[in-house]
């Protein structure tokens, strides 16, 4: 009996050991209770949630939930909502507190905390999840009973999440008197509904085509590309709110009109190169700026001041995330950040001066700058021909863009930012250099017979040519009055290369003009003076000398300010020095040259006499710069004027018109300069 008992316990221990061996791993690692099983299920669910594995989340939903929503609908809903609010990263944390015991109805509840970084602001909230135990695919486990409050608290079936960007009002660009150079206006998007276009009679389609100057084939292509998109709106044109064509279009079946606010440039072509324009952000621009809060739907500055002062003008976008009911009513604002409007940009530019000078080009190619010579305030920066920046805002067709881009007049070229050979308007600078270095005096004369001169035979066939031989020795005053190339070629040689270049640096050559707008630096030479011929040509503004119209105007301000070059300002309220280059020219030298420039305008033989305005004492210099590749050929001629009023100097204008050969050279500008000063200083013709 004792042996049987021992045998029994031995067998029992063997069986028990096997049972322990078989189920050890399950006992060691697997859930032992319903609570632990539910925790494991919910931990897996929140992990999938955090990793945005929405398809995996769906597999953990209860049968009742799956009966109400398909997998595709579930995944799409999360992706659309989280994508719309730009939710990333997503942090989901299950909140467990002690033992978990099913409720009387057999359910288990867990709380969780979720944090989302959105395009508006971070959002965080806590929610409650209910789990039920059931069998799915032969597996008994705990599954999540999902409802819309998982997305946001208080959401119910039928509710939607609406995410809206709140766009700031772009700062206006204003002139010195507060006149708007860039502002906003209401325009109308003209669109068609493709699904209704087929109902429009052929005559109606043709009418739309003719009114908008869009080929009918193009309209039909748009319809074809969007066929089947019920209720879709396809923009085909944008028109000003007061465009008379809108009345007819409004009565056309399938045509839809939608108002919107856009950037507007009241002075159109007159200030286009200065102000610039805005447009939809490109993918490349977005990649560069996305870390600065930009979105793919943003409008940004594309050119001019709009681009240069983008950060100041744009402001900061805001946003709103709201829960809306099935009827579209806002039920709750989840997050909201107001937009911060952009700051205005107040310029020293005078819109009247800008418009007046631009209108004088009459589509001639050229450029101009105007300043207040006493204060350095930039009153105008003009480039012609130009373009209407509003066309970029409203949208250009491919044909319109190609016509603008291929225009031989190059309306997209910003000429006031480029350097041009200044021709004889440079001679007063050579005069100032020569007097300052002692290379010339006011009474020294040059006696050269004929129209041609060269230093010696080493110049080969090259000669300096002047327009007229006045049959008498020429001193400084006469050289400026007559615009004698030979006098200033000899003066440059007398100054010498090194002093000439050094004096040029004192006048701001090879240096950026200190305004917040990129201009080409003016140059005396591209890579140093190659020889005496280049130096001689430089003395009368040829060779490789180039100047922007603004830099030329600034240097001329030294003749107003006792030899000091005024410090330029483009923005109102800038803290700056009064002078950019102090004592750039000795005061007595500046006075001599200024008085001679008065004679250029007043002497009966002065080249500037044709631009005189009765009642205004003026000082200035004309110039004709010839652009050619080699001696003997005829190149393009550009006509120049640099002129200011002498008594209480308020206006200094530099102006260049291209291609004046055969039209009178610089005298093409005589009447234009006269009208500009008459209107702006006397109000005549205003």
Residues carrying an active site annotation: 424
Rounded to whole angstroms, the Cα distance separating 558 from 568 reads 12
> How many other CB atoms sit within 10 Å of the CB of residue 420?
24
Helix axes 587-602, 427-437, angle to 10 degrees: 150
Which DSSP state fits 522?
P
**CA–CA separation, 539 vs 451, rounded Å?**
17
Give the pair of three-digit tokens for residue 273: 């190169």
420: CB partners within 8 A, 6+ apart? 367, 546, 547, 548, 549, 625, 638, 656
Which of 347, 7, 308 has its CA nearest to residue 177? 347
Nearest Cα neighbor of 38 from 146, 138, 132 is 132
Instruction: Collapse the DSSP code of 190 into the 3-class scheme (helix H, G, I; strand E, B; otherwise coil) and give the result.
Output: strand
Q: What angle do CA 364, 366, 368 make, to 5 degrees?
A: 125
- Report which of 558, 559, 547 is spatially closest to residue 625, judged by C-alpha positions: 547
Q: Taking the C-alpha atoms of 475, 477, 483 and 485 in order, what is their torsion angle to the nearest 10 degrees?
A: 30
- CA angle 432–433–439, rounded 5-degree value: 110
Round to whole Å and give the CA distance between 488 and 485. 5
Residue 626's beta-bridge partner residues? 637
Q: DSSP string spanning 121-187?
A: --EEEEEEEEEEEEEETTEEEEEEE--GGGTSTT--TT-EEEEEEEPPPPPPEE-TTS-EEEEEEEE
DSSP-assigned letters across all residues of 407-452? -TT-TTS-GGGS-B--GGGGHHHHHHHHHHHTS--TT--B---SSE
Q: How far is the C-alpha of 679 from the C-alpha of 377, rounded, in Å?
A: 19
The HSE-up count of residue 184 (CA atoms within 13 Å, CB side) is 15
Q: Nearest to residue 252, comparing CAs of 223, 214, 211, 216?
A: 211
Provide the pairing of β-strand 618-627 with 180-192.
Answer: unpaired
Tokens of 538: 């430089």
Q: How many helices (H) and strands (E) does the chain have?
A: 24, 23
Token pair 């007063």: residue = 428
Helix (H) or strand (E) holding 654: strand 652-657
Report the C-alpha gap between 494 and 474 in whole angstroms. 16
- Maximum C-alpha span of the chain: 157
> Rounded to an integer, what distance in angstroms lies between the CA atom of residue 507 and that of residue 510?
9
273 neighbors 386 (Cβ within 8 angstroms): yes
E strands in 437-529: 452-453, 464-465
Other beta carbons within 10 Å of 603: 17
User: What is the distance between the alpha carbons of residues 87 and 67, in angstroms, rounded to a whole number?
Assistant: 28
């Amino acid at each position: 009996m004792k042996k049987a008992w021992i045998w029994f316990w031995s067998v029992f221990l063997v069986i028990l050991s096997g049972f322990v061996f078989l189920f050890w791993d399950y006992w060691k690692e697997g859930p032992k209770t319903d609570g632990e099983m539910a925790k494991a299920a919910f931990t897996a669910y929140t992990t999938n949630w955090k990793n945005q594995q929405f398809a995996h989340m769906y597999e953990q939903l209860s049968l009742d939930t799956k009966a109400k929503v398909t997998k595709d609908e579930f995944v799409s809903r999360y992706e659309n909502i989280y994508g719309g609010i730009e939710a990333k990263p997503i942090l989901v944390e299950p909140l467990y507190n002690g033992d978990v015991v099913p409720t009387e109805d057999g359910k288990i509840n867990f709380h969780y905390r979720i944090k989302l970084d959105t395009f508006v602001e971070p959002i965080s909230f806590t929610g409650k999840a209910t789990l039920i135990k059931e069998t799915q695919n032969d597996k008994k486990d705990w599954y999540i009973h999902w409802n819309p409050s998982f997305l946001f608290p208080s959401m119910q079936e039928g509710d939607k999440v609406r995410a809206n960007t709140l766009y700031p009002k772009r700062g206006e660009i204003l002139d010195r008197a507060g006149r708007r150079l860039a502002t906003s206006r209401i325009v109308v998007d003209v669109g068609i509904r493709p699904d209704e276009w087929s109902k429009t009679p052929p005559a109606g389609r043709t009418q739309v085509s003719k009114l908008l100057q869009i080929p009918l084939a193009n309209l039909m292509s748009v319809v074809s590309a969007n066929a089947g998109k019920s209720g879709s709106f396809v923009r085909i044109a944008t028109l000003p709110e007061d465009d008379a064509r809108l009345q007819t279009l409004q009565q056309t079946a399938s045509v839809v009109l939608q108002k919107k606010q856009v950037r507007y440039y009241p002075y159109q072509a007159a200030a286009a190169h200065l102000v610039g324009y805005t447009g939809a952000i490109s993918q490349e621009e977005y990649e560069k700026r996305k870390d600065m809060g930009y979105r793919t739907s943003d409008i940004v500055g594309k050119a001019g001041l709009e681009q240069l002062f983008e950060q100041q003008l744009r402001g900061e976008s805001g946003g709103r995330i709201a829960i809306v009911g099935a009827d579209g009513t806002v039920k709750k604002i989840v997050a909201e950040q107001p937009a911060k409007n952009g700051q205005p940009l107040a310029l020293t530019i005078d819109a009247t001066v800008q418009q007046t000078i631009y209108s004088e080009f009459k589509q001639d190619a050229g450029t101009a700058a105007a300043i207040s010579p006493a204060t350095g305030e930039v009153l105008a920066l003009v480039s012609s021909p130009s373009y209407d920046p509003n066309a970029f805002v409203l949208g250009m067709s491919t044909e319109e863009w190609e016509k603008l881009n291929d225009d031989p007049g190059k309306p997209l070229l910003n000429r006031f930012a480029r350097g041009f050979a200044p021709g004889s308007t440079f001679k007063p600078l050579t005069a100032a250099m020569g007097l300052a270095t002692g290379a010339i005096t006011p009474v020294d004369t040059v006696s050269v017979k004929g129209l041609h001169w060269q230093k010696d035979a080493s110049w080969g066939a090259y000669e300096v040519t002047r327009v007229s031989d006045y049959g008498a020795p020429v001193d400084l005053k006469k050289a400026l009055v007559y615009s004698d190339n030979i006098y200033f070629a000899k003066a440059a040689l007398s100054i010498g290369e090194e002093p000439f270049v050094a004096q040029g640096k004192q006048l701001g050559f090879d240096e950026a003009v200190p305004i917040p707008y990129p201009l080409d630096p003016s140059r005396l030479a591209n890579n140093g003076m190659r020889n005496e011929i280049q130096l001689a040509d430089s003395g009368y503004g040829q060779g490789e000398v180039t100047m922007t119209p603004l830099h030329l105007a600034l240097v001329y301000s030294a003749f107003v300010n006792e030899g000091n070059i005024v410090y330029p300002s483009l923005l109102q309220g800038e803290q700056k020095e009064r002078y950019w280059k102090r004592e750039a020219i000795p005061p007595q030298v500046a006075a001599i040259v200024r008085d001679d420039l008065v004679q250029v305008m007043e002497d009966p033989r002065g080249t500037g006499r044709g631009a005189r305005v009765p009642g205004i004492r003026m000082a200035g210099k004309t110039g004709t710069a010839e652009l050619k590749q080699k001696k003997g050929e005829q190149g393009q001629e550009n006509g120049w004027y640099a002129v200011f009023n002498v008594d209480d100097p308020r206006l200094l204008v530099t102006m260049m018109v291209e291609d004046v050969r055969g039209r009178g050279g610089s005298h093409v500008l005589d009447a234009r300069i006269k009208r500009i000063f008459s209107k702006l200083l006397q109000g005549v013709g205003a």
